[in-house]
Chains A and B, each alone.
Chain A
Amino acid sequence: MTMATGRPAQIWISLRRPAITGAVGIVVAVLVLALSGVDPLRALSALVYGSLAPANIADTLNWAVPLVGMTLVAAVPLRAGIINLGGDGQMVVGALAAALTAIYLPVPGPLALVLALLAGAMAGSMLALLAAWGETRFGVPLLISSLLLGYPAAGVASYLVSGPLGDLGSGLAQTAQLPLDARLPLLAGVNGGVVLIVLLCVLVIFIDRRTVFGLETQVRGENRLFASYVGINAPLQTLRLMGFAGAIAGSVGAILVLGAFYRFIDGALLSPGYTWSGLMAALVGRGEPIASVLAGFFFAALQTGGFAMQRETSVPRVFTTMMQAVIVLVLTLRFGGRSGRHD
């Protein structure tokens, strides 16, 4: 899509979709809230205040750390037109690998911390590569295998921490606590992993903008046939993109364990739905890293505001999950556009 050149009509065309989406989103939100029997204005202002007031910024950032990370997990392959639905599984194996490394590896704390992060990234990467390899070697669609692999991954992790590797004294499905010196420090109340996520964002944007690999990824995303004409090795590209995405997902899992929970707790990583919010954000940004990351941050603010809204007005905060889906759905529709090609 070409950007507007400054003429009002052109600006309108480039802004039409976001404008329509925003308008429809607000109308749907107001309607749902009104039908739920609450004052929409009160609920929405509680939502905005709860996410962006100075006292609540740390909460928003804590939610944004995993969510923006998972946005990258979806956006990196999406830039080439590949949809990675396996973020949940990749995050869980990364988190478990990180927790076990930090707890059981007999090395000094700070070194254990670094190794735990690397172990997490590697574990996530391996699971993503398994799905990618299934497609490049056997022709099993990545879209489905990446998702289906997540269930066994989460199931095995759950089994391990509720039995053989669990903290048996607690009676809960979780590992023992991490040693104090193998934890990520809090930075002004925010998970220290925020630094890593920012670095990852910069890295992804750099690769996208300044490397041959980034260019080749975009070429494939724009036109798969053209990519093969110019000699881009699609299977290798798939493996690299998924390996990278899985490594990010594993890192996100590791960051949550090392900087927030200080242990692996069964289910705690998946219940907030970071993977799905991240995927929605990547779809909003169509895989373009800056737009996707901004959308991811917006969704993090939306979900954090949901807690305040739930407190103030008794609107269940899962309302914000619905709104994310509505935004993605409206954004993909064409209103009054030409008929023809699916975009």
Chain B
Amino acid sequence: MIDLISPFLIYSAIQAATPLLLAAMAGVFCSRVGVFNMALEGQMLVGAFVAVAAGYFTHNAYAGIAAAMVGTMVFSVILAAGSTWFRGNPVVLCIGMNLLASGMTAYFLRLVFGVSGTFTNPAIPLIPRLSLPGLAALGPWGAVLNNQTAVTYVSWLIVVLCTILLFRTPIGLRIRGAGENPEAAVALGVDVDKLQFATVVVSGALVGLGGAQLSLGAVTLFSEDMTAGRGWIALVAIMLARDNPVGAALACLLFGLTDALGLRLQSFGLPNQIATILPYVITLVALVAFAKRKRQLA
């Protein structure tokens, strides 16, 4: 047990939570503005692919990150425009986007790199780890926070910024108003369609950042459907936290921990197929536990 709960486990948990966290922040904003975003999975996959492609051609991880953010924003226009000006059904749009992302990334993987399945190459850069001297001095438990990627540190900063933006600024008030009562927001002069469009597209950058962390953060590769349900797990985190950024972030940390725990248990002899299902099982259990509590409150 002591071997199991090691500083390295927590380090891995934080690392694994980063893509979830960023997707969840984007989802919180979409949900608050009144567009339930179930396309996080597809957005993250696009981000992961663009990051690898741009990183491969520029040999620069930060160029890969930037491209992933821009590319995912462009992809998000489908949901942003589709659910506002074109009055599409958001659920159908999101399901379509997820399949489109899966097909598109697989298509360009074959077309551009000539491989199917997994693409990896020494030219793909790893996002540099930041070594913070103050943390290193704290010994092994300080090390769990040290040597993470810049994206990980930024992601926790983003949680704070998102909370402030949503609850302490006029734009946050408008976003919440547009989602809670669109008619009233319109009456107060808010262009709800425009606000929803902007929120969905800008939040797409966050999911793209998460995708880049997934494909360039711990590994340097892209494989088909490598997001493996992470977008959906982020969505569950949002639901559990009822659209609260801090709550969603903590839920993501829990799911990151189960991910890391699953990997760790493999070295204790747990078959890898069983280890990899751990996050999904915990997610489902959390959904049921949360639903029960809601029932008692009602």
Interface of A with B (CB < 8 Å)?
A: 36, 83, 85, 134, 138-141, 143-145, 147-149, 151-152, 155-156, 158-159, 162-163, 273, 276, 279-280, 283, 316, 318-319, 321-322, 324-326, 328-329, 332-335, 337, 339-343
Contacts and interface: CB of A to CB of B under 8 A. Distances in A.
Interface of B: 38, 78, 82-83, 86-93, 95-97, 99-100, 102-104, 106-107, 110-111, 116, 228-229, 232-233, 235-236, 239, 271, 273-274, 276-277, 280-281, 283-284, 287-288, 291-292, 294-295
The 4 A-B pairs with the shortest beta carbon distances in the complex, nearest first, are A321-B103, A325-B100, A155-B277, A159-B273
30 contacts: A36-B111, A138-B291, A140-B284, A140-B287, A143-B38, A145-B284, A147-B232, A148-B283, A151-B228, A151-B277, A152-B277, A152-B280, A155-B274, A155-B280, A158-B273, A159-B271, A162-B273, A283-B96, A318-B103, A318-B107, A321-B102, A321-B103, A326-B100, A329-B88, A332-B92, A332-B93, A334-B88, A335-B86, A340-B87, A342-B90
Nearest to B229: A151
Contacts of B291: 138-140
A134 B100 CA distance: 29
Contacts of B83: 342
A163 B107 contact: no
Contact of B89 (A148, A162, A332): A332
Contact of B95 (A83, A156, A163, A319): A83
Given A151-B229, A321-B99, A156 B277 contact: yes
A333 B99 contact: no
Nearest to A135: B291
Contacts of B283: 148
A156 B83 CA distance: 38
Contact of A329 (B82, B91, B277, B295): B82
A101 to B, nearest CB: 22
Contacts of B281: 152
Given A83-B91, A163-B271, A325 B96 contact: yes
A148 B187 CA distance: 40
Chain B residues touching A, majority SS: helix
Contact of B87 (A145, A324, A326, A337): A337
A276 B38 CA distance: 15
Nearest to B286: A140
Contacts of A134: 284, 287-288
A316 B111 contact: yes
Contacts of B232: 144, 147-148
A139 B240 CA distance: 12
Contacts of B287: 134, 138, 140-141, 144-145, 148
Contacts of A343: 87, 89
Contacts of A85: 95
Given A139-B295, A316-B116, A321-B107, 17 more contacts: A138-B292, A147-B229, A148-B229, A148-B232, A149-B284, A151-B228, A151-B277, A155-B276, A276-B99, A280-B96, A321-B102, A322-B100, A328-B99, A334-B86, A339-B87, A341-B87, A342-B83
